Amino acid sequence: MEIFFWAICLQALEIFTLVVGIVGMVLSTLLLLAPRLLNRIGESLNRSIDVDKKISRLVDRSIPTAAFFYRHNIISGVCLIVGAVFVLLFLFFRLDVDGLVSVFFGNDKFKVAYDILITTMALLGKVAGAAGLLIGMILVSRPVKMQQIEKRMDTWFATQPMWEKLNRFHPSVDTLVLGRPIIFGAIGLFTSVVLTFLVVNNLIHL
């Protein structure tokens, strides 16, 4: 069943690569023979999306949650301690890395890499569980101290400069490609033909 699933995924990836190769051949041919037509098509398909109003305001919004946890510090702390203890008990005494790798990946040649990956994730989980246990204990016993620690660690991360870069128009790529249509068209056509040939050859010999 697992082999069948991966075979379907691989075939879907090959079909997608074939579509990309064919589209690349068409665009490269247009770039070689009719760069102005390709430029007009690109201009007609250009769209400006204002991410500042739709995304950045949502990301930059301040959501005050600390007041709830400090108002109910006993309940919040106990829940955090119980969750942290459960995670630590599972990771230390119940997690079987070898069994997990065998169930999900079988006798794969990258089994050692998967083993290292899951072990690293488990180690990070143990660190997070220990931190959660410590925070929960401080929240239950000394909520004022927890507030002081939070204020010291509280930092403002401004996302506005990132969205300003995304909103900025960059005509340099189009100018570079359309300024040298023969070079980029030939490179794109050669790459697309080779890619399409390899995918078609692989699909025929399946």
pLDDT single digits (tens) 52-63: 566 656 666 666
Identity of residue 120: T
Rank 75-79, 140-144, 170-174, 175-179 by mean pLDDT and report only the highest: 75-79
**Is the pLDDT reported for residue 78 higher than 70?**
yes
pLDDT at res. 124:
93
pLDDT at res. 134:
92
Please tell me the pTM assigned to this model. Answer: 0.47
pLDDT at res. 171:
58
The contacts of residue 84 (CB under 8 Å, 6+ apart) are: 129, 130, 131, 132, 133, 136
Are residues 193 and 25 in contact, defined by beta-carbon separation less than 8 angstroms? yes
CA angle 88, 92, 95 (to 5 degrees): 105
Q: Which residue reads 């919004």 in tokens?
A: 61
How many structural domains are present in the chain?
A: 1
- Identify whether 56 is part of a domain: no
Nearest-CA neighbor of 174 among 29, 26, 40, 19?
40
- Identify whether 101 is part of a domain: yes
Q: What is the residue-averaged pLDDT of the chain?
A: 78
- Identify whether 53 is part of a domain: no
Q: Which residue reads 């506005």 in tokens?
A: 160
What mean pLDDT comes out for the span 90-114?
Answer: 75
159 DSSP 8-state letter:
-
Would you place residue 174 in the very low, low, confident or very high pLDDT band (cuts 50, 70, 90)? Answer: low
- Identify whether 57 is part of a domain: no
Are residues 100 and 122 in contact, defined by beta-carbon separation less than 8 angstroms? no
What mean pLDDT comes out for the span 106-127?
Answer: 80
Compute the distance between CA of residue 156 and CA of residue 35 in angstroms, rounded to an integer.
47
Compute the distance between CA of residue 97 and CA of residue 122 in angstroms, rounded to an integer.
9
Quick one: 199 exposed, middle or buried, by C-beta within 10 A (0-12, 13-18, 19+)? buried
- Identify whether 55 is part of a domain: no
For the CA atoms of 24, 189, 27, 180, the dihedral, rounded to the nearest 10 degrees, stands at 130
Q: The domain containing residue 68 runs over which residues?
A: 2-45+62-204
**Is the pLDDT reported for residue 1 higher than 60?**
no
- Identify whether 50 is part of a domain: no
pLDDT at res. 52:
59
- Identify whether 54 is part of a domain: no
Q: Which residue reads 């204020």 in tokens?
A: 151
More confident residue, 186 or 42: 186
**Is the pLDDT reported for residue 145 higher than 90?**
no
**Is the pLDDT reported for residue 113 higher than 80?**
no
The contacts of residue 135 (CB under 8 Å, 6+ apart) are: 80, 146
Compute the distance between CA of residue 132 and CA of residue 139 in angstroms, rounded to an integer.
10
Task: Determine the angle formed by the axes of helices 111-141 and 143-153, rounding to 10 degrees.
Answer: 130
**Is the pLDDT reported for residue 82 higher than 90?**
yes
> How far out from the chain centre does Cα 82 lie?
31
More confident residue, 142 or 162: 142
- Identify whether 13 is part of a domain: yes
Percent of the chain with pLDDT over 90: 11
Compute the distance between CA of residue 16 and CA of residue 8 in angstroms, rounded to an integer.
12
